[in-house]
Copies of this chain bind each other. A is one copy, B any other.
């Protein structure tokens, strides 16, 4: 080792925090509370315990766990031991979990008692504590050879194919953690409430950003709105992260009230609606819209506010804030390209696919060179998201490549239609998908959840939309009810689509627009690993 090279790794954040922020609270989880000095000791013990139990460099250590202090700890302790963390989505079913354990070749498995038992696994709780105590509180010799060594494998939730294992390396985790601490203004006196699952892109890398800043984590196993509102006040929370659907749930809870201190919230997975933005402002919550995928360690772009935007009327402000924005300070470059990798005209109209390049792009899919090569064709990571580029360099997602509706040869952005539906004051949430149509190929259909005690007719919804956007974009059908969601609160359009397209499997639409990637027939379509 030369004096001027040190491999970049987020493990250094905790090692440093254990000294610099020794007396500051690192984690609160129910009755348990650890200061950074104690918590570093705990990480070292866990790391030594893993080694004593036989862990070799790059061995995979899987956690199938709800948000909790041990899951957060594993984000530091497993890489400190030289292992690779596999934090599994807790909403997956038994066979999916079995597949991930098998595919990742996990040598150690830990699980929340509520979710287990898993064969050969150790339950979080007394068993886990006993395991950790077998390790000593002493510095852990680093086995890191190169900052490109694996730190984590995050499995996407495949719906048709098998889940894919997205490989993160130490360098990317370090840089994303550092950049998010800066961009999200984390400091040693910040307090972050874990409304986002830690398994999700490693908690948008906040599992590493928080110790970088010496900030405090408040862990909750699941989003229970009254509890969230209570903790926001009791713990002096300054930051949390959540998908818009979770924010809608929080804003409409009876416990919702204006907070005494300003709270910063990062949100992603869908653009925040004008209604939501207004509600959040009334609650004293500042929204930061961001965008990324599992393949980009979570957040890659941010909607950076421009001077003057905060003074705009709500609708205009919301239109600006709905854009996904620009690459964050350490992210690299985002482009919007056509099928030949040419940049689309940055006119906020022309559509293309978002491609990414930089230090916070995954290393590849674990044990899947074919999928890796496809994703990286042309030297850029292909997101599968269809967007327009604004003249000021902000990207603006119009759809998932597989969601966009092609009706009579015209593109219809399901997001645009959803926002028109949701602008109705009685609507809580909406999702729009393509349904087959003999004449137009596809037409939009809306699935709508009403606010409690409100009701609308199909006609009223359609009329509301026709007053706002082009008539051909209005839904042909409207269905009312609950929307199916992922563990992170994202609406599962493929479930709606599966239902609508049942029996239409072989029905080929066979159209492709210039500037848009070609698409095949109907569902089942594949769900990619979006941020939410």
Give A contacts to B, CB under 8 Å.
1-6, 8, 13, 16, 19-24, 169, 172, 178-179, 181-182, 185, 187-188, 212-213, 304, 306-307, 326-327, 329-330, 332-333, 356-359, 361-363, 376, 379-381, 392-393
Q: How far is the CA of A112 from the CA of B188 in the complex (A)?
A: 42
Query: How many copies of this chain are found per oligomer?
Result: 2
Q: Which residues of B contact A381 (CB under 8 A)?
A: 3-4
User: With A19-B392, A326-B16 in contact, is A4–B182 under 8 Å at CB?
Assistant: no
Residue of B nearest to A306 (CB): B23
8 closest A-B pairs (Cβ-Cβ)?
Answer: A19-B393, A4-B361, A182-B182, A6-B358, A3-B381, A20-B326, A3-B376, A6-B332
A4-B359, A379-B2 are known contacts. Are A329 and B23 too (CB-CB below 8 A)? no
Instruction: Enumerate chain B residues within 8 angstroms of A185, measured Cβ to Cβ.
Output: 185, 187
Nearest-neighbour CB distance to chain B for A37, whole angstroms, equals 9
Q: Which of A19, A20, A327, A380 has the most CB of B within 10 A?
A: A20
CB–CB B16/A212 < 8 A: no
Chain B residues in 8 Å Cβ range of A361 = 3-4
Residue of B at shortest CB range from A1? B379
Known: A187-B185, A212-B329, A329-B178. A304 touches B20 (CB 8 A): yes
User: Does the CB pair B178–A4 fall under 8 Å?
Assistant: no
**Nearest-CB residue, chain B, relative to A361:** B4
Report Cα–Cα, A356/B2, bound state, in Å: 11
Task: Give the residue name and chain of the B residue nearest to A24 (CB).
Answer: B307
Q: Nearest Cβ distance between residue A469 and chain B, in whole angstroms?
A: 29
Partner of A307, one of B1, B16, B23, B329: B23
Our pick among B16, B182, B362 for the contact of A327 (Cβ within 8 Å) is B16
* Bound-complex Cα distance A179 to B179 (A): 9
The smallest C-beta distance from A262 to any residue of chain B, in angstroms, reads 14
> What distance in Å separates the Cβ of A370 from its nearest Cβ neighbour in chain B?
16
Given contacts A6-B357, A178-B179, 6 further A-B contacts (CB under 8 A): A1-B357, A2-B376, A3-B380, A6-B359, A19-B392, A19-B393
